[in-house]
Amino acid sequence: MADRRRYSFYRGLFTGDVLNFSKRSPFVKEIMFERIYPTKIILPMKMHSGVPAVPAVEVGDYVRVGQCVGVPEKGTFSVPVHTGVSGKVTDISDIRLPNGILTPSVTIKNDMKRTRLDSIRPRSGFKLSAQESIGIIRDAGICGMGGEGLPTAAKLKRARTEVVRDFLVNCLQSEPYSTSDLVAITEYPDYVVLGSCACARVVGASKCVFLISENRTEQRRSLQNSIDKIRADFKDLEFEIKLFRERFPQGYYRLVARAIYGKNLALGETLEKSCRAVLFNCSTMLACWEALSDNIPMMSRIISVTGDASGGHNMLVPIGTPVSEVLSNVQDINNGSYRLIWGNCLTGIEIRNPENTPIVKTTSVISVVRKAEVPRTPCIHCGLCSECCPMNLSPNTIYEMLNQGLRQKASEEGARECIACGSCSYVCPAGINLTTAIASFAGEGRIIEINSLLDNSSAEEMSVEELTPSYVGETSLLENYTEEDEGSSKKSPDSITLPFEKDKEV
């Protein structure tokens, strides 16, 4: 029987139509999907959780689309970086990203010829083992595109070790204004579904579950059509679409655990261990299938450029495109003063230097919002911040404790549970920036999460060293797998079959 439930968690933010223009019916049909070809790209070596990659090119080198320009140092927890344009390397120097990270970056002047590596071509009719699939995803430089950028290969590896049952695909994009994930589903539903099925097989899950807001009718239909098309090729997998009520921040893994499994995960507890499930973003699944099927590394992504000071746009941009070049393609930014936010308008960070701020692997939206002057007053104890906090915290109490230096007490009050969703600051009528104070205190907790991933990845048969690509040069890194796949997949005890389109020619 069909699951008629609507899943959700308590509290959170209901932005309704005020912040969610994509729900207005005419807009959905008017989404413009544009492709941007920038004059240059700036590729930071650190766009993910973990150690920065190391530049693998020199100033003056000519690079082609898909080429690896940054490699992880052997033995480090990192992912490679690839270029999405062809042209000359003009600079290698440190840049500071809006989040404060100082990272080496490779600047490439686009020759607009889009000369690509020969190795970027569809893979045709062969089988891949789970291990090989993880290797391809690792070498494609894929990291989580919806959050902190955890290396996808390491997360798959951990899920495989934990023997998960449910493979959850996060199609819940609930941030105000953003629709980039939804456009990924509408434009490439087969890739999202096939990537999810492939990764579900890699981790050994028996069920592939797509989580989506009940309001996203068009995307639900797209997913359902794609599932119906490929169901026969994945008979070992059960499929389900779970509908969620719309509220922010719906897609965070601890809130998903609460909504679906009724479990309150403690900080550091994982979905894999506690719920036998793993959660991946739908755009990440699209990137995985591009790597597995077409040999395309992670070198471009869909972003939204939107806010109350601009119209709604979704664009496919090479990773590394400067924000200034993105904006030069948008004509409808309102005159007057606006703020540029790297990320969504609740949790993003203000961009001070758009010429030197690139789109990175985790950037799903550039928000263009009006400068609102909220008069700052002392707390009026209205309780709104507590009412909306999805982690059931009392942000005003914690804020006061931190202001008085009572860190231990703030910790006991649950401050480390904060997920930096920004809801409390958004609703506060006194204009108090609660989020910055509480989230930066809680930030140390995030390290626990990354460390647990690292520990689990290294504990099993594929070590951190093996999670690091070991070859550089004029390759996309992916082509090395084409030589060994046929033979090794037959031998491999963990052999799986990923069906490719039968008439796809290399």
CB of 341 to ligand SF4, least distance (A): 16
- Got the DSSP string for 395-429? HHHHHHHHHTT-HHHHHHTTGGG-----HHHHH-T
CB of 381 to ligand SF4, least distance (A): 5
Q: Computed over its alpha carbons, how large is the radius of gyration of the chain?
A: 22
Q: What angle do CA 335, 96, 441 make, to 5 degrees?
A: 95
CB of 344 to ligand SF4, least distance (A): 13
DSSP H/E element including 304 = strand 300-307
Nearest to 361 by CA among 154, 151, 166, 195: 151
Nearest to 195 by CA among 104, 280, 103, 138: 280
Identify the three-state secondary structure at position 371.
coil
> Partners of 366 in the beta sheet?
305, 343
Three-state helix/strand/coil letters over 210-242: EEEECCCHHHHHHHHHHHHHHHHHHCCCEEEEE
CB of 174 to ligand SF4, least distance (A): 13
CB of 415 to ligand SF4, least distance (A): 8
Helices 282-294 and 130-139 pack at an angle, to 10 degrees, of 100
Query: By C-beta, is 436 or 451 nearer to ligand SF4?
Result: 436
Query: By C-beta, is 447 or 459 nearer to ligand SF4?
Result: 447
Query: By C-beta, is 381 or 502 nearer to ligand SF4?
Result: 381
- Evaluate whether 387 touches 11 at the Cβ level (below 8 Å): yes
User: CA 33 from chain center: how many Å?
Assistant: 19
d(CA 452, CA 271): 12
CB of 436 to ligand SF4, least distance (A): 9
Tokens of 73: 């140092």
The residues binding ligand SF4 (CB under 6 A) are: 379-385, 388-391, 393, 395-396, 418-424, 427-430, 432, 434-435, 438-439
Q: Most distant CA pair in the chain: distance in Å?
A: 69
CB of 467 to ligand SF4, least distance (A): 31
CB of 283 to ligand SF4, least distance (A): 23
Query: By C-beta, is 223 or 419 nearer to ligand SF4?
Result: 419
In what side-by-side order are the strands of the sheet with 238-244? 6-7, 238-244, 207-213, 166-171, 277-281
d(CA 450, CA 52): 15
Query: By C-beta, is 376 or 490 nearer to ligand SF4?
Result: 376
- CA distances in angstroms from 340 to 17, 46, 97, 332, 367, listed in the order given: 21, 22, 14, 14, 6
d(CA 276, CA 504): 35
CB of 97 to ligand SF4, least distance (A): 21
Query: By C-beta, is 287 or 385 nearer to ligand SF4?
Result: 385
Identify the three-state secondary structure at position 453.
helix
Query: By C-beta, is 56 or 438 nearer to ligand SF4?
Result: 438
Identify the three-state secondary structure at position 169.
strand
Query: By C-beta, is 164 or 388 nearer to ligand SF4?
Result: 388
CB of 451 to ligand SF4, least distance (A): 21
Query: By C-beta, is 382 or 459 nearer to ligand SF4?
Result: 382
Query: By C-beta, is 36 or 345 nearer to ligand SF4?
Result: 345
Query: By C-beta, is 125 or 383 nearer to ligand SF4?
Result: 383
